[in-house]
Structure 1
């Protein structure tokens, strides 16, 4: 084969490699924005439809790229986008009314461009499946047509849209940026036949971009670092209050967290209650999202069905606060804040502006008064919309959650007893702690099977998930507990009273509250936090009269009202819960529940202050997260490319090769010694020319006596065909000496 043919083959292979890298980068770019789409459909439904659309788009682009002009490709992409948008139009509420639907779509698009998460759209799964085909088709088409810049622009625009909606995480964005840069970089190298070294430099740069970018914040006001914090001073995100009530339309689930003892507001009311602030209907596996729009408060809100009792409340802010709590279910709001208040799709109140100290408003609430027996016979006549919205779970939710719930609630034959059994099981088998490590994956699954302790967010999230596996409508709710009662009709509510609980829907009654968080340990933790704050003379932890302790009324019987059970109902519900627990492996002695063994990781056990395992072995090291594995892999690839580019591996090999001769026959060892001598001389002077004998070469470069002696030994071994062990040892010692002192020794080599 001629030299020209060999070079041609190598050039073809190098070009193919660069093109493969360019297409691989295009695939990475497409995968980055598809990751968001698949997450949305996993949460909201429609993953099968999305897979079908994506595969069809990739196949179509691959088949048409050979002959389809770019103009027609743009037309096809526009058609795909229009069809996807129309499918969403037909799916939105009142979708059959065209004008109203288009108005809703236009509002959604504008909201998305200003930061609304896609998961807040009611039909988010249909939206994601309709959005994906157009950018997938066009990005892959342009990449196959070698229009790499156009491919990067289309894919980057799709990813940029998800950045605006805050649905793209850091790792997804970095992967997409690296993909876009790789498409252009490797594509241009392929088009202009760049050298392999250029590709290595590009790999190093892309790896550095991904690894170093999280260390530097270049976008002020991003989702992780907002320029204007929400919540109106309701505590930092590291507190329970900040994580729940300053989160807006989305509540993330955190790890270890603290309490704020500062007073937030006082309440004058004819009855104590949980002061509800917000509800969330969509569970993502790691957070809660409220879907639907808000509407201006127009003077009244519809009350719940069935019998109710009236609760009148007046809230007075004691500090800046950005939420508008009220007892469930608020029907009327009065006072100046009512003029610009709004109502969420889940009938929660939102202020137009954050309250400042002294601001006040009044609320009239109609609270359901159904008894346990009435709730047991409420039936399951749920509407399809209600079931679809409040029983939906991510498709990735492990099946073992449903199986465990089935066992726990085996003896419950109606939604109320099922809810009470789950509530009691969580309350009695899980411990309360603010010091936990946030698990990876589905939070409810991890809390159910891998954790022994948690706080209200974990309890409420898990209960809602368990109930939804039983097709019982349930949702996640945040707000404040009653707080400290300082008079017959007055309560002081602090940041540490922030809480999360569960609401379950019952026909002809509406939403009823359940609280699976252990009340005793939670109250003890809150009391300790308040006592410490008082001992340290912290400010704004008391109002007039609150330092004197709790005001205690004369005990009276209270109807359930969705709030308190009678003692008989508690006992009956508790017995049902014990029966379900017994079937799930728990034991009961005199009414005290001992939970079944829980498989717990060493990291979780260490966090919760419990032994990592029963055998008494030491705690295991925390396992890396998926993001850490991904960053580690990228760093390794970049490091490998850097090592290759810098010839560090070759130099390291040569240093070891110089110092270690093979253990072989004496003649072979002498020849190996001369090879190393040639390498040393080549580094210092030049390589031995073709046809130049060893003796001529050594004379030409002016080698010293040691080098000349190695040459003599080599000639004898080569031409005589043999060498002694003594000659081999001598050659090895001379080479070792030259290697050890090669810089000064080679400097003394003389030229003839």
Structure 2
């Protein structure tokens, strides 16, 4: 294989890996990576075979057939309810959405979509490579990479690898077309490296009000990572609490004010699948017995959510005209609410007791099992095994949920200061971390339940807030929270909250006190300063579940304030738990490795510098200077010739290289006059001429030539002059 072809194959392999790895991760999340791998292998094998026997037009036709077959296969797997919504306008809108940031993971049939889309670019790009059309091959693969970049599913590291691969394939195409071989690879390497480093160091991502570009203490707010996350939640590291008031709620009962729920777990966060539909009036309530709960919500700050007790069935006010409903049953506004704007919500709250939940059984609807038992194919065996051990002999999904909730409350500490997870969140939290906050607790409980066949989902919103009067509460940014909802047949979704309430409330109270003492003006509304903060309720209400049973009905948190593994008031105030700079035993931990993106940028920079040095001759000159420092002795003639060549390296470094046709003596006389002492230099040249062209030199003469050059090398090398 010639150099250009080898370069093209390496570049195209990197480009293919980039977009295939993104699509493979999609299928891994939804549990279908085996079919995906088979589709890639078949497409690659077909390209190699077809590339040798058919023309480009036939190959383009095969590509179009693969696209059509993939799209048809994807449509056949969609539920009937989704197919009914699939109009030409909807297809166009969804395509535009994908090209402007809609994650592939948000598609209902994400795994099937990825498996359907991947054969076409793999086949076409490698077919073209077989035909030695490397530029077109890079363009075909680059289109697939561009798609996953535009959807937001490709991270920076993957994109860098793909861009480098495309650039290498393009360079191979140019080298082959112009017959330059690989002589220009160093130039391409320098340009690509400069592009990568510039893109990595100059990019700026603006933030929202609750997540500024330069957040306090280098941490996002809990609210930004949960409530404002919209269609996806990424589990991050350390967070901070915002004491600013967001809204007021008038309601006869306290509740958790839910804003969103998520069905698809990605390993590092959560995604809400499906598209929201327009709110058109009365919504269905839970399947079991419920009671009505009315709420009047007034925005005290600009908010882009519609908090409501689960389950909302009706919304009133100006926001109702453009509100929408997610497939998970949550309300969403069509615009941000301005301070002072009000809306009303009527919810139907489940009233099942523990006995009802134990008798609910496991006859789950197919739509529930399809969406809420999903786990990534990479979920570890040790997570499944520990979950089974914690669930123990529990006979019902309710008892399993209670056991897992209590296990997390008792075994893990609450802390806002934690390093970001390096792998699967649940696996990391269970086996590598001693502390975390609500996102970690809720994520881990959902994963543990799903591994035991219990449908569960990740929910976000706000805890009840601060009671400021009869049936009125003020809710702040620090009340943002994540919890778990478990599905029970003929009952619906019931909330569980595995996050220990004691240290959480202590941290929130400390942050609010700090803000008030600091003179913050947006942490209270008229008449609220000094009121009793009640982020969660420690007792049941008539018709609701007995708190002692362990479940968390609407407005109830069963977490004990006496948890023996909580970190205490002072630690909670500071974030609690072992932080990023401490080990599990409290001592200093080893420094963490740089991120994959940082390492790749560093490698790119190193390759660029190396290629630039090679292009300018710096590498060759440096190697020659290093080789000139010492001389291995052989026979007198060889030693004399080698001594002269070492001298020539010094002269080239100081003055200029020897010109074509210039004799060794003429070169030395033209550049070395007065440099080292003419007699010594002339003697080395004379001995070289006798050894190379005459009758040779004696051992003593060779020793003298070597010693002379050694002395000249030392005088011309600053570091050797310093340490001699």
Q: 1:97 to 1:516 in 2, by over 3 A?
A: closer
So what's the TM-score if we normalise by structure 2? 0.87
Q: 1:460 to 1:560 in 2, by over 3 A?
A: farther
Query: What's the counterpart of residue 232 of structure 2?
Result: 250
Instruction: Report if aligned partners of 2:354, 2:551 keep a CA contact under 8 Å in 1.
Output: no
Q: Residue 171 in 1 paired to residue 152 in 2?
A: no
Instruction: Report if aligned partners of 2:435, 2:577 keep a CA contact under 8 Å in 1.
Output: no
Paired with 2:357 and 2:414, the residues of 1 have a C-alpha distance of 29
Paired with 2:82 and 2:563, the residues of 1 have a C-alpha distance of 56
CA displacement 1:219-258 (0-9 Å, x = unmatched): x9xxx547x889999x998111111122211112211111
Instruction: Report if aligned partners of 1:113, 1:165 keep a CA contact under 8 Å in 2.
Output: yes
Query: What's the counterpart of residue 479 of structure 1?
Result: 461
Q: How far is the alpha carbon of 1:652 from its aligned partner?
A: 1.7
Gaps of 5+ in 1: 1-12, 572-576, 579-589, 596-603, 744-752
Paired with 1:68 and 1:164, the residues of 2 have a C-alpha distance of 33
Bigger CA drift: 380-389 or 119-128? 380-389
Q: Secondary structure at the match of 2:423?
A: coil
Paired with 2:325 and 2:341, the residues of 1 have a C-alpha distance of 19
Bigger CA drift: 158-167 or 399-408? 158-167
Query: What's the counterpart of residue 4 of structure 1?
Result: none
Q: Residue 109 in 1 paired to residue 83 in 2?
A: no
Instruction: Report if aligned partners of 1:18, 1:199 keep a CA contact under 8 Å in 2.
Output: no
Instruction: Report if aligned partners of 1:486, 1:549 keep a CA contact under 8 Å in 2.
Output: yes
Q: How far is the alpha carbon of 1:605 from its aligned partner?
A: 8.2
Q: How far is the alpha carbon of 1:276 from its aligned partner?
A: 0.4
Instruction: Report if aligned partners of 1:232, 1:320 keep a CA contact under 8 Å in 2.
Output: no
CA RMSD of superposed structures (Å):
3.5
Q: Secondary structure at the match of 1:417?
A: helix
Query: What's the counterpart of residue 296 of structure 2?
Result: 314
Q: Residue 63 in 1 paired to residue 49 in 2?
A: yes
Q: 1:658 to 1:106 in 2, by over 3 A?
A: closer
Q: 1:367 to 1:231 in 2, by over 3 A?
A: farther
Query: What's the counterpart of residue 431 of structure 1?
Result: 413
Query: What's the counterpart of residue 269 of structure 2?
Result: 287
CA displacement 1:142-174 (0-9 Å, x = unmatched): 222233332233222222222322222222223
Query: What's the counterpart of residue 735 of structure 1?
Result: 709
Paired with 1:627 and 1:37, the residues of 2 have a C-alpha distance of 19
Instruction: Report if aligned partners of 2:500, 2:563 keep a CA contact under 8 Å in 1.
Output: no
Q: Residue 447 in 1 paired to residue 421 in 2?
A: no
Q: 1:100 to 1:716 in 2, by over 3 A?
A: closer
Query: What's the counterpart of residue 117 of structure 2?
Result: 131
CA displacement 1:318-365 (0-9 Å, x = unmatched): 111000010001111122211221111000001121111111111111
Q: How far is the alpha carbon of 1:523 from its aligned partner?
A: 0.4
Query: What's the counterpart of residue 644 of structure 2?
Result: 674
Residues 661-700 of structure 1 aligned to structure 2 (within 5 Å): 661-663=631-633, 669-677=639-647, 686=658
Q: Secondary structure at the match of 1:660?
A: coil
Instruction: Report if aligned partners of 1:89, 1:102 keep a CA contact under 8 Å in 2.
Output: no
Instruction: Report if aligned partners of 1:371, 1:559 keep a CA contact under 8 Å in 2.
Output: no
Query: What's the counterpart of residue 140 of structure 1?
Result: 126
Instruction: Report if aligned partners of 1:263, 1:540 keep a CA contact under 8 Å in 2.
Output: yes
Query: What's the counterpart of residue 141 of structure 2?
Result: 155
Residues 3-82 of structure 1 aligned to structure 2 (within 5 Å): 16-82=2-68
Q: Secondary structure at the match of 1:146?
A: coil
Paired with 1:293 and 1:186, the residues of 2 have a C-alpha distance of 44
Q: Secondary structure at the match of 1:516?
A: coil
Residues 636-651 of structure 1 aligned to structure 2 (within 5 Å): 636-651=606-621
Paired with 1:665 and 1:477, the residues of 2 have a C-alpha distance of 82
Q: Residue 660 in 1 paired to residue 642 in 2?
A: no
Query: What's the counterpart of residue 336 of structure 2?
Result: 354
Q: Secondary structure at the match of 1:314?
A: strand
CA displacement 1:261-306 (0-9 Å, x = unmatched): 1111111101100000000101111121101121111111111112
Q: 1:178 to 1:659 in 2, by over 3 A?
A: closer
1:186 pairs, out of 172, 187, 208, with 172
Q: May I ask how many residue pairs the two structures share in their alignment?
A: 691
Gaps of 5+ in 2: 553-557, 568-575, 718-724
Paired with 1:731 and 1:551, the residues of 2 have a C-alpha distance of 90
Paired with 2:332 and 2:5, the residues of 1 have a C-alpha distance of 54
1:607 pairs, out of 579, 604, 610, with 579
Residues 266-285 of structure 1 aligned to structure 2 (within 5 Å): 266-285=248-267
Paired with 1:488 and 1:699, the residues of 2 have a C-alpha distance of 103
CA displacement 1:58-80 (0-9 Å, x = unmatched): 11111111232212111111110
1:566 pairs, out of 524, 540, 547, with 547
Query: What's the counterpart of residue 721 of structure 2?
Result: none
Instruction: Report if aligned partners of 1:181, 1:206 keep a CA contact under 8 Å in 2.
Output: yes
Instruction: Report if aligned partners of 2:691, 2:697 keep a CA contact under 8 Å in 1.
Output: yes
Q: 1:698 to 1:262 in 2, by over 3 A?
A: closer
So what's the TM-score if we normalise by structure 1? 0.84
Paired with 1:668 and 1:144, the residues of 2 have a C-alpha distance of 50
Instruction: Report if aligned partners of 1:557, 1:566 keep a CA contact under 8 Å in 2.
Output: yes
Paired with 2:672 and 2:118, the residues of 1 have a C-alpha distance of 71
Query: What's the counterpart of residue 7 of structure 1?
Result: none
Instruction: Report if aligned partners of 1:685, 1:701 keep a CA contact under 8 Å in 2.
Output: no
Q: Secondary structure at the match of 2:383?
A: helix
Paired with 2:76 and 2:198, the residues of 1 have a C-alpha distance of 44
Paired with 2:288 and 2:274, the residues of 1 have a C-alpha distance of 25
Instruction: Report if aligned partners of 2:220, 2:240 keep a CA contact under 8 Å in 1.
Output: yes
Instruction: Report if aligned partners of 2:434, 2:578 keep a CA contact under 8 Å in 1.
Output: no
Residues 355-374 of structure 1 aligned to structure 2 (within 5 Å): 355-374=337-356
Paired with 2:342 and 2:582, the residues of 1 have a C-alpha distance of 46
Q: Residue 549 in 1 paired to residue 540 in 2?
A: no
Q: Secondary structure at the match of 2:184?
A: helix
Q: Residue 92 in 1 paired to residue 64 in 2?
A: no
Q: Residue 344 in 1 paired to residue 314 in 2?
A: no
Query: What's the counterpart of residue 240 of structure 1?
Result: 222
Residues 391-410 of structure 1 aligned to structure 2 (within 5 Å): 391-410=373-392
Q: Secondary structure at the match of 1:241?
A: helix
Q: 1:407 to 1:608 in 2, by over 3 A?
A: farther
Paired with 2:657 and 2:367, the residues of 1 have a C-alpha distance of 84
Q: 1:179 to 1:344 in 2, by over 3 A?
A: same
Q: Secondary structure at the match of 1:477?
A: strand
Bigger CA drift: 502-511 or 187-196? 187-196
Q: 1:22 to 1:429 in 2, by over 3 A?
A: same
Paired with 1:192 and 1:569, the residues of 2 have a C-alpha distance of 75
Q: 1:662 to 1:62 in 2, by over 3 A?
A: same
Instruction: Report if aligned partners of 1:559, 1:565 keep a CA contact under 8 Å in 2.
Output: no
Paired with 1:688 and 1:673, the residues of 2 have a C-alpha distance of 21
1:627 pairs, out of 587, 597, 608, with 597
Query: What's the counterpart of residue 211 of structure 1?
Result: 197
CA displacement 1:500-531 (0-9 Å, x = unmatched): 10100011110000111110111011101111
Q: Secondary structure at the match of 1:607?
A: coil
CA displacement 1:682-725 (0-9 Å, x = unmatched): 776747979x8x88998999983223323555678787777456
Query: What's the counterpart of residue 496 of structure 2?
Result: 514
Instruction: Report if aligned partners of 2:405, 2:497 keep a CA contact under 8 Å in 1.
Output: yes
